[in-house]
């Protein structure tokens, strides 16, 4: 449940990051559009100033007033260059911000994909364990956890002595049997039992699926035979 909650939190965080990323992109695009408008406005003013300068220079090239006009005409050009440079800097800053946001989103996405895959693996493992528990419970409820033949075999082994006799008996029957060896054998037997149960469950599911498919094919075959009989009756 903790992993599922963590995964859900990560999914919510991912959605929030996507919304923030979309909002940032929208804001950056708007700022860039405004800067382009400013640049176009400055370019228009610069062109108008240069045309006025050429018109006025035809009358008085050497007059003192001409010198002041030329200095004034240079001012928009300098301002235009400064603003253009500032716009380029702002564009670079915006691009860097976009790249950082995209990298952060990519890292979050990769982490979420990993967590999602891990959760799926854990859920699959839980389903397998649940099937084993269900099988144990069903066998316990039906009173068939161990059959009479199995009990007889255990009693026979316990009388013969040896390692297996120590496992099936309440007392140690073999001098070489230790607690560590007993636990190791029990773990191996438990693993074999779980694997056998899983295989039996899988086999039962496969048989159920096969039975359903056979029933479906039988119905289909029956329908085809009836249809064929109708066709033969029509031709006759």
Does residue 119 sit in the same domain as residue 162?
no
Does residue 120 sit in the same domain as residue 84?
yes
Q: Tell which of 138, 160, 194 closes a domain.
A: 138
Q: Which residues of the chain have pLDDT under 50?
A: 51, 53-55, 57-75, 141-145
Does residue 124 sit in the same domain as residue 176?
no
Helices and strands in the chain: count of H runs, count of E runs: 5, 0
Neighbour tally for 42: CB within 10 Å: 19
Question: What pLDDT, on a 0 to 100 scale, did the predictor assign at position 10?
Answer: 72
Question: What pLDDT, on a 0 to 100 scale, did the predictor assign at position 61?
Answer: 44
Question: What pLDDT, on a 0 to 100 scale, did the predictor assign at position 24?
Answer: 75
| Rounded CA separation 92/31 (Å) | 12
Question: What pLDDT, on a 0 to 100 scale, did the predictor assign at position 59?
Answer: 47
Q: Tell which of 119, 138, 157 closes a domain.
A: 138
| Rounded CA separation 189/179 (Å) | 15
Does residue 157 sit in the same domain as residue 118?
no
Residues in CB range of 7: below 8 A, 6 or more apart = 112, 115, 116, 119
Q: Domain range spanning residue 180?
A: 146-235
Structural domain count, the chain:
2
| Rounded CA separation 18/78 (Å) | 42
Question: What pLDDT, on a 0 to 100 scale, did the predictor assign at position 173?
Answer: 53
With the C-alpha atoms ordered 94, 99, 105, 107, is the resulting torsion angle positive or negative? negative
- Record the tokens describing residue 111, joined without a space: 């982490």
With the C-alpha atoms ordered 2, 3, 4, 6, is the resulting torsion angle positive or negative? positive
**Per-residue pLDDT tens over the stretch 186-222:** 788 788 877 887 787 777 777 778 878 888 887 877 7
| Rounded CA separation 180/168 (Å) | 16
Q: Tell which of 80, 108, 138 closes a domain.
A: 138
Does residue 22 sit in the same domain as residue 125?
yes
- Record the tokens describing residue 67, joined without a space: 């010198």
pTM, full prediction? 0.30
Does residue 194 sit in the same domain as residue 156?
yes
């Amino acid at each position: 449940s903790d992993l599922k909650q963590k995964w859900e939190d990560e999914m919510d965080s991912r959605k929030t990051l996507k919304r923030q990323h979309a909002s940032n992109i929208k804001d950056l695009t708007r700022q860039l559009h405004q800067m382009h408008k400013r640049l176009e406005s400055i370019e228009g003013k610069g062109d108008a100033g240069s045309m006025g300068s050429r018109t006025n220079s035809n009358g008085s090239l050497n007059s003192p007033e001409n010198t002041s006009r030329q200095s004034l005409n240079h001012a928009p050009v300098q301002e235009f260059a400064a603003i253009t440079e500032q716009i380029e800097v702002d564009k670079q800053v915006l691009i860097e911000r976009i790249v950082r946001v995209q990298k952060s989103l990519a890292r979050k996405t990769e982490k979420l994909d990993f967590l999602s895959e891990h959760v799926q693996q854990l859920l699959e493992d839980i389903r397998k364990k649940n099937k084993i528990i269900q099988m144990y419970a069903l066998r316990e409820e039906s009173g068939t956890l161990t059959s009479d033949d199995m009990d007889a075999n255990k009693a026979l082994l316990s009388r013969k002595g040896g390692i297996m006799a120590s496992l099936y008996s309440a007392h140690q029957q073999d001098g070489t049997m230790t607690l560590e060896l007993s636990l190791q054998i029990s773990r191996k037997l438990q693993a074999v039992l779980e694997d056998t149960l899983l295989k039996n469950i899988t086999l039962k599911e496969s048989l159920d699926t096969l039975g359903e498919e056979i029933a479906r094919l039988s119905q289909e075959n029956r329908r085809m035979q009836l249809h064929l009989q109708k066709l033969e009756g029509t031709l006759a």
